[in-house]
Amino acid sequence: MASKIPQRPVLGVFWMLVTGICFVMVTALVKTMGPRIPPGEAAFIRYAMGLVFLLPSIRALREAHLTKRQWGLFGLRGFCHAGGVILWFYAMVRISIAEVTAMNYLAPIYVTVGAALFLGERLAGRRIVAVVMGLLGAVIILRPGFREVSPGHIGMLVAAVVFAGSYLVAKVLADEVKPTVVVAMLSVFVTIGLFPFAIADWITPTPRELMFLFGVACFATAGHYTMTLAFSVAPLTVTQPVTFLQLVWATALGAIWFSEPIDIWVIIGGAVILGSVTFITWREAMMKRQITPLSHAPKT
């Protein structure tokens, strides 16, 4: 019988801290690059560059022997994720980094609801309260009627819903296919899905913009890798609260580098959302089963 990997909470926290830094760098690079390149094209270039990181997965892909149904699910997930990535790039250059980061926490809330509606998972009373609290956090951030809700905010709200759909499909595939294949096929199908949007409004990128997008690909890949390392050595109940630091760092970066005003309501709303997600994660850990994927990485 294979021995379990020993739990090392301190190391898990360290890797989650590194993960947070990587993902904050992703948002900083996209924000610095600016809105000249259309979001569909920027996302396509980022994913096309990221395909180089899939070379170690080629053997696993060739040995997967996917069924027609699985190919269809991978295509559906890629289509959903491509739409979410476009919306994320759109929102990133139109609203503050702190707002994007805080609203990004909504995806696991939507996943919880979607798992109950489409996968038949039980939505107990405590989880319902946690979902309501998460949605309340979004209301605190947006404060409709008290501030302008811009197209960037709407884009990020829809992006979280679309990403949740991607995660639900991933849940089904994860029970049938190796994780390496699931991750690799996502990158392939998202690149394919983004291609029509890229050529529809193509603007030749400058060397500077290409450099920024390659940096996004590198930091995003590194972030997903370190997040996997964190999950492998520490339980989610330990690593989950660390993700809140992403909001702290994003707020600090926005204020220092981009001169974005610090909005205390965004901090409070983000804390409420993450608190609800952390509670859901804790409940699943207590039940010794992880029903829904709970990742707060920028979906880039």
Number of domain units in the chain: 1
Domain assignment present for residue 17? The answer is yes
Contact between residue 266 and residue 254 where contact means Cβ atoms under 8 Å apart: no
- Residue 144: phi and psi, rounded to 5, are -60, 135
Nearest to 21 by CA among 217, 243, 209, 187: 243
Residue 78, domain extent: 9-286
- Within-domain flag for 298: no
Amino acid at position 90, single letter: Y
Residue 150 in any domain: the answer is yes
pLDDT higher than 80, residue 298:
no
The pLDDT of residue 285 is 63
Nearest to 207 by CA among 33, 60, 67: 33
293 domain residue, yes or no:
no
Instruction: Tell me the pLDDT tens digit for each residue of 247-274.
Output: 888 899 899 888 999 899 999 999 998 8
Backbone angles phi, psi at 268, to 5 degrees: -65, -45
Q: Which two tokens stand for residue 153?
A: 């905010």
In this predicted structure, what is the pLDDT of residue 118? 83
Is 294 inside a domain boundary? Answer: no
Is the pLDDT confidence value at 293 over 60? Answer: no
Look at residue 147 and give its three-state secondary structure: strand
Query: Is the CB of residue 34 less than 8 Å from the CB of residue 93?
Result: yes
246 CB contacts (<8 Å, ≥6 apart)?
Answer: 20, 23, 24, 101, 296
Question: 147-184, pLDDT tens digit by residue?
Answer: 888 999 999 999 999 999 998 898 888 788 887 888 88
**Nearest residue to 218 via CA among 57, 35, 26, 54:** 26
Q: Please say if the pLDDT value at position 5 is more than 90.
A: no
48 contact partners, CB below 8 Å, separation of at least 6: 191
Rounded CA-CA distance 173/162 in Å is 17
Q: What is the mean pLDDT of residues 54-77?
A: 89
pLDDT category, 296, cuts 50, 70, 90? Answer: low
Q: What is the per-residue pLDDT across 194-244, written as a single tens digit (0 to 9) for each?
A: 999 999 999 999 999 999 999 999 998 888 888 878 877 877 667 777 887
At which residue do the structure tokens 């699910």 appear? 73
Q: What is the pLDDT of residues 122-149, one digit of tens each?
A: 777 877 888 899 889 999 998 887 788 8
Q: Residue written as tokens 């947070």?
A: 20
96-118 pLDDT, tens digit each: 999 998 898 888 888 888 888 88
Q: Write phi, then psi, for 201 (nearest 5 degrees).
A: -145, 55
Tell me the whole-structure pTM to 2 decimals: 0.82
Q: Does some domain include residue 2?
A: no
The per-residue pLDDT for 237 is 66
Instruction: Tell whether 291 is covered by a domain.
Output: no
Give the phi and the psi of residue 147 in degrees, each rounded to 5. -155, 165
Q: Are 127 and 280 in contact (CB under 8 A)?
A: yes
Nearby residues of 35 by Cβ (< 8 Å), 6 or more positions away: 93, 94
Asked if residue 4 is part of any domain, the answer here is: no
